[in-house]
């Protein structure tokens, strides 16, 4: 299946589920609010890379929604490896369930660093590989977690952003960001925070593709349970938020 076909099939299925399952609105609103708490307060625009169905504006209304392929509700198309934004023009770049689709994450992070203003941030929301996360995403999600696969940090010589193809490795963010620093250095970015969440309320909602396992009115109780389980991320984490920042004193953006 081509990259375009795979992408559009997933977006269409997600959009259908979004309209049919109101619980998803509450689940995703809470996840987007976690991202909003970590936005940098520096001049520049806020953009989401890989917006999918574009529901982030419900929480961050001034967010520019972009994706690799156009859709009517998106603001523009963008390729994470070759952004159209000028150097040092963006305050925040949000990647929600996008990082694990980057075959060459180091190459993409270099490009994200290029467009950030000093003090700007990259906010990466991804599957987390606590024991529960490994079970949920390993057994019940169609994309591989690929914990034993080699991560190709940088694109090989001769590769161009136009060569982007479909790739998925849901465990990559956990492997890269759950240490005190990134596995590989990225000139112009430093990891300043990592939050891991149980998000049992998300898991038991069934997400976009599985059956909902609790009634809508039980959501507050599920969120209370989440907060208790968050204390044991190695065991219960299923979601994570990594926050990367361009140092305030930085005047360079690293090689492209």
Instruction: Choose among 140, 72, 109: nearest CA to 246.
Output: 109
Concatenated DSSP letters of 6-72: HHHHHHHHHHHHHHH-THHHHHHHHHHHHHHHT---SSSEEEEES-TT-GGGGT-TTPEEEESS--T
- pLDDT reported for residue 253: 43
Torsion of CA 175, 233, 34, 41, to 10 degrees: -60
Distance from C-alpha of 164 to C-alpha of 254, rounded to nearest angstrom? 22
- pLDDT reported for residue 17: 82
Domain boundaries, the chain: 3-128+143-197+238-245
Q: Residue 181 corresponds to which tokens in the numbers above? A: 């620093």
- Three-state secondary structure string covering 207-232: CCCCCCCCCHHHHHHHHHHHHHHCCC
Distance from C-alpha of 128 to C-alpha of 172, rounded to nearest angstrom? 9
CATH homologous superfamily for the domain 3-128+143-197+238-245: Vaccinia Virus protein VP39 (3.40.50.150)
- pLDDT reported for residue 186: 76
- pLDDT reported for residue 103: 97
- pLDDT reported for residue 182: 59
C-alpha distances in Å from residue 13, one per residue of 18, 145, 246: 9, 21, 36
- pLDDT reported for residue 254: 43
- pLDDT reported for residue 99: 98
Which pairing describes strands 239-245 and 45-49: parallel, antiparallel, or unpaired? unpaired
Q: Which residues, given as ranges, of the chain have pLDDT below 70?
A: 1-8, 179-185, 250-256
- pLDDT reported for residue 251: 45
Q: What is the pLDDT of residues 18-45, one digit of tens each?
A: 888 999 999 999 999 999 999 999 999 9
């Amino acid at each position: 299946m081509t990259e375009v076909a795979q992408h559009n099939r997933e977006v269409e299925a997600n959009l259908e589920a979004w309209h049919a399952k109101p619980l998803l609105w509450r689940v995703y609103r809470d996840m987007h609010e976690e991202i909003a708490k970590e936005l940098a307060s520096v001049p520049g625009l806020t953009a989401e890379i890989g917006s999918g169905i574009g529901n982030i504006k419900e929480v961050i209304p001034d967010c520019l929604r972009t994706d690799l392929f156009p859709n009517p509700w998106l603001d523009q198309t963008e390729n994470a490896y070759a952004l159209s934004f000028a150097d040092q023009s963006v305050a925040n770049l949000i990647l929600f369930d996008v990082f694990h689709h980057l075959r060459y994450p180091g190459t993409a992070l270099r490009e994200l660093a290029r467009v950030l203003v000093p003090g700007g941030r990259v906010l990466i929301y991804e599957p987390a590989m606590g024991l529960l996360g490994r079970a949920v995403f390993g057994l019940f999600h169609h994309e591989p977690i690929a914990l034993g696969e080699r991560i190709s940090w940088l694109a090989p010589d001769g590769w161009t952003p136009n060569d982007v193809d479909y790739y998925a490795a849901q465990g990559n963010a956990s492997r890269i960001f759950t240490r005190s620093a990134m596995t590989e250095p990225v000139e112009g970015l430093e990891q300043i925070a990592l939050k891991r969440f149980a998000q049992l309320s998300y898991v038991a909602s069934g997400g976009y593709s599985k059956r909902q396992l609790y009634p809508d009115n039980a959501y507050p109780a599920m969120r209370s349970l989440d907060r208790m389980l968050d204390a044991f991320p190695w065991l219960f984490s299923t979601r994570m938020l990594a926050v990367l920042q361009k140092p305030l004193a930085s005047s360079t953006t690293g090689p492209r």
